Amino acid sequence: MDFEARGKLWDAMDKEGLLIKVEDHVNRVPRSQRGGEIVEPLVSTQWFVKMKSLAEKAIGRVRDGDIVIELQRFEKVYFKWLEYIRDGCVSRQLWWGHRIPVWYVEEHSGEYIVARSDEEAA
């Protein structure tokens, strides 16, 4: 771990007047079972699905009568849930190895294409 870099970061923040306060506190730091090294989370890109257009289509299908909710009392719950739905983070719902349909233009460039197939992405 680069604890030297952390110290430099704190010094830079203090120099710029960005520190509000420094307090000692007890923290459970996860450590590797084998070697005892500190285990830190790896921040990764999160992928979201825009839900508004999907929800609008689902609401329209029920309102038009294409889809029927058998128990009428649940229609209100259905509409309220879809009217207030927020974008969904799919990257946290995926099991390991499941692929999101995203193709990177160049490695580490930050550019990507979302498509249904290799051909469509090309």
- Structure confidence at residue 13 (pLDDT): 94
Q: What percent of the chain has pLDDT over 70?
A: 92
Q: Is the pLDDT of residue 14 over 70?
A: yes
Judging by beta carbons within 10 Å of its beta carbon (0-12, 13-18, 19+), is residue 65 exposed, middle or buried? Answer: exposed
Two structure tokens written together for 72: 């009428």
Q: What is the pLDDT of residues 72-109, one digit of tens each?
A: 899 999 999 999 999 988 876 666 667 778 888 876 67
Identify the domain containing residue 53 by its residue range.
Answer: 3-121
Q: What is the pLDDT of residues 110-119, one digit of tens each?
A: 788 888 888 8
Query: Is the Cβ–Cβ distance between 103 and 112 less than 8 Å?
Result: yes
Locus of tokens 């460039």? 109
Q: Is the pLDDT of residue 66 over 80?
A: yes
> How many whole angstroms separate alpha carbon 78 and alpha carbon 58?
10
Q: What is the mean pLDDT of the chain?
A: 86
Instruction: Please state the domain count of the chain.
Output: 1
